[in-house]
């Protein structure tokens, strides 16, 4: 059974942190198809957050097709995000990224600038795609 | 969605001192409500009025759809400094609770004290601060109230005891869906557990709302010298600080602010509360007067 934690200073909304932790656990293989997530009651008894925060995270995960509630039984993982094999499938992308990072460093960008450049491009990319879908 | 507490122009005066001024609130049920503000703001007064322990000087107050009734079985109250009877044992307290409360859930009371490792034979005066707080909380939740009120329940507790108290409270909320109004001047704790906020400063309500909505609609704007009046309609400046070259403002705006001249960031709950506390000013003058300067 996985356990959640909350980083009060991270600037990421609590419900989003829970979602990221579930996805991360799935990628690492700590959560596999059929595994049960902790109950809302267990989560809040461990990390003292509002129960609605947990409900919101679990609903979002259900919407993404990663988990499924079974009334009276709990919330269960419906997929496996295979850790090693899934990352391995994206090896070419990873190599492209490493190349880009090397170029950015050669151009004189420090860590913060590289991160800012990536985040800015990524956000714009996401918004444009969302706009096209919508 | 029904309301747990509704007030209209609620005012409480003691002679020349005003504890609450013209408070109008519509507190939704099924939430954990944070009542936050500096010491002396009127938080305890408001909670005691909701319990029926104090009468208004002016204005109206409805609790769970009716008149506030002192000693109502539908309300649980954990007063400041978590009062328990020092000379009575833990078990004595539970027997007292069962005796006084028609809706007492004895199973819940004993489950909680067992899980918390509270020795039934221990006198309450010999318990640690954290244990006394947990006992007081047990007595309140075992009544199975529809509305649970807590007045600064964790202020005097060490960080571990504070965390354990909030864990227990959240666990109870998860299983019962009870409405909670919790006052505190420690905002960091409230940010984890509250989904609705009331900011009370110097006897007045400054802002209320769902925490998510408040965080989404308040922004910190920084840039070169900004004239707050030039921000345009729909942008409410809560607090503004200026140096000779730079301005920092906290602004409430439902529409996104996109202006290349400014840097716009979100703010966390603590800074949001501080902004409203600053806005109230050291002399307690209303913001309207400040703007006219």
Greater confidence (A134 vs B117) lies with B117
Query: How far does the CA of residue B139 sit from the closest CA of chain A (Å)?
Result: 19
- Cβ of A50 and B163 within 8 Å? no
Strand (E) or helix (H) holding B20: strand B17-28
Look at residue B266 in the predicted model and tell me its pLDDT: 87
In this model, does residue A131 exceed pLDDT 70?
Answer: no
How many A/B residue pairs have CB atoms within 8 Å?
A: 47
In angstroms, the CA A102 to CA A104 distance is 5
Pairing of strands B196-201, B32-36: parallel
Residue pair B46/B35 in contact by the 8 Å Cβ criterion: yes
Taking the model in full, what pTM does it have? 0.83
Chain B residues interacting with chain A (CB cutoff of 8 angstroms) = 32, 163, 166-171, 173-175, 188, 191-195, 266, 268
Look at residue B1 in the predicted model and tell me its pLDDT: 64
Cβ-Cβ contacts under 8 Å for B11 (sequence gap 6 or more) = B18, B20, B21, B22, B23, B56, B57, B58, B59
**Which chain A residues in 37-76 lie under 8 Å from chain B, judged by CB atoms?**
40-41, 44-54
**Minimal Cβ distance to B170: which of A8, A11, A51:** A51
Nearest CA in chain B to A6: B192
Residue pair B64/B147 in contact by the 8 Å Cβ criterion: yes
Look at residue B22 in the predicted model and tell me its pLDDT: 95
Please state the ipTM of this predicted complex: 0.83
Mean pLDDT of A44-53: 95
Look at residue A5 in the predicted model and tell me its pLDDT: 94
Tell me which fold the domain A14-81 belongs to: Arc Repressor Mutant, subunit A (1.10.10)
- Cβ of A44 and B167 within 8 Å? yes
DSSP letter string, B84-106 = --TTSBHHHHHHHHHHH-TT--H
Phi, psi of A97, rounded to the nearest 5 degrees: -65, -45
- Cβ of A48 and B192 within 8 Å? yes
In this model, does residue A48 exceed pLDDT 80?
Answer: yes
Q: Report the sign of the C-alpha dihedral through residues B233, B234, B236, B240, in that order.
A: negative
- From A128, A15, A22, A31, select the one nearest B195 (Cα to Cα): A15
Would you give per-residue pLDDT tens digits along chain B (293 residues)? 699 999 999 999 998 999 999 999 999 999 999 999 988 889 999 999 999 999 999 999 999 999 999 888 899 999 888 789 999 999 999 999 999 999 999 999 999 999 999 999 999 999 999 999 999 999 999 999 999 999 999 888 899 999 999 999 999 999 999 999 999 888 888 888 999 999 999 999 999 999 999 999 999 999 888 887 777 788 888 999 888 888 899 999 988 777 778 888 888 898 999 999 888 766 444 443 333 33
Look at residue B30 in the predicted model and tell me its pLDDT: 94
**Minimal Cβ distance to A48: which of B167, B195, B266:** B167
Pairing of strands B32-36, B179-184: parallel
Instruction: Give all domains of chain B, ordered by start, each with its CATH number.
Output: 3-211 (3.40.50.300), 214-291 (3.30.70)
- Cβ of A46 and B167 within 8 Å? yes
A51 neighbourhood in chain B, CB within 8 Å: 170, 173-174
Residue pair A57/A22 in contact by the 8 Å Cβ criterion: yes
In angstroms, the CA B139 to CA B113 distance is 10
B137 neighbourhood in chain A, CB within 8 Å: none
A37-41, A85-89, B62-66, B172-176: segment of lowest average pLDDT: A85-89
- From B69, B84, B71, select the one nearest B118 (Cα to Cα): B84
Look at residue B230 in the predicted model and tell me its pLDDT: 77
Residues across chain A:
134
B268 neighbourhood in chain A, CB within 8 Å: 11
Pairing of strands B179-184, B218-224: unpaired
Q: Which two structure tokens, joined as six digits, stand for B241?
A: 């600080």
Domain ranges of chain A: 14-81, 90-129
Residue A84's pLDDT band (boundaries 50, 70, 90)?
A: low
């Amino acid at each position: 059974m996985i356990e959640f934690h909350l980083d009060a200073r991270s600037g990421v909304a609590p419900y989003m942190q829970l979602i990221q932790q579930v996805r991360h656990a799935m990628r690492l293989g700590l959560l596999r198809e059929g595994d049960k997530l902790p109950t809302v009651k267990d989560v809040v008894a461990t990390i003292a957050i509002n129960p609605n925060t947990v409900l919101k995270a679990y609903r979002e995960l259900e919407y993404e097709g990663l988990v499924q509630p079974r009334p009276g039984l709990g919330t269960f993982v419906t997929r496996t995000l295979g850790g090693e094999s899934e990352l391995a499938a994206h090896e070419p992308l990873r190599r492209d990224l490493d190349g880009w990072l090397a170029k950015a460093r050669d151009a004189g960008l420090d860590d913060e600038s590289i991160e800012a450049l990536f985040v800015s491009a990524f956000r714009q990319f996401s918004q444009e795609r969302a706009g096209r879908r919508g | 969605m029904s309301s747990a507490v509704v007030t209209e122009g609620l005012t409480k005066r003691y002679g020349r001192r005003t504890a609450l001024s013209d408070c109008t609130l519509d507190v939704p049920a099924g939430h954990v409500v944070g009542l936050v503000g500096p010491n002396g703001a009127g938080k305890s007064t408001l909670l005691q009025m909701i319990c029926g322990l104090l009468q208004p000087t002016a204005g109206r107050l409805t609790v769970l759809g009716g008149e506030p009734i002192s000693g109502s079985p539908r309300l649980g109250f954990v007063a400041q400094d978590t009062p328990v009877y020092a000379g009575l044992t833990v078990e004595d307290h539970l027997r007292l609770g069962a005796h006084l409360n028609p809706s007492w859930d004895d199973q819940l009371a004993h489950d909680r004290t067992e899980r918390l490792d509270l020795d039934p034979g221990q006198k309450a005066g010999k318990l640690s601060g954290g244990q006394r707080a947990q006992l007081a909380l047990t007595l309140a939740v075992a009544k199975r109230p529809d509305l649970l009120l807590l007045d600064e329940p964790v202020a005097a507790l060490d960080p571990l005891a504070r965390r354990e108290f909030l864990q227990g409270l959240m666990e109870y909320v998860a299983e019962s869906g009870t409405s909670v109004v919790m006052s505190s001047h420690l905002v960091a704790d409230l940010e984890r557990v509250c989904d609705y906020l009331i900011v009370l400063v110097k006897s007045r309500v400054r802002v209320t709302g769902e925490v998510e909505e408040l965080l989404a609609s308040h922004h910190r704007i920084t840039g070169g010298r900004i004239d707050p009046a030039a921000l345009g309609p729909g942008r409410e400046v809560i607090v503004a600080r200026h140096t000779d070259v730079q301005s920092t403002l906290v602004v409430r705006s439902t529409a996104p602010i996109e202006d290349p001249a400014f840097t716009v960031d979100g703010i966390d709950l603590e800074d949001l509360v501080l902004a409203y506390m600053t806005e109230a000013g050291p002399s307690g003058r209303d913001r309207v007067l400040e703007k006219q300067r």
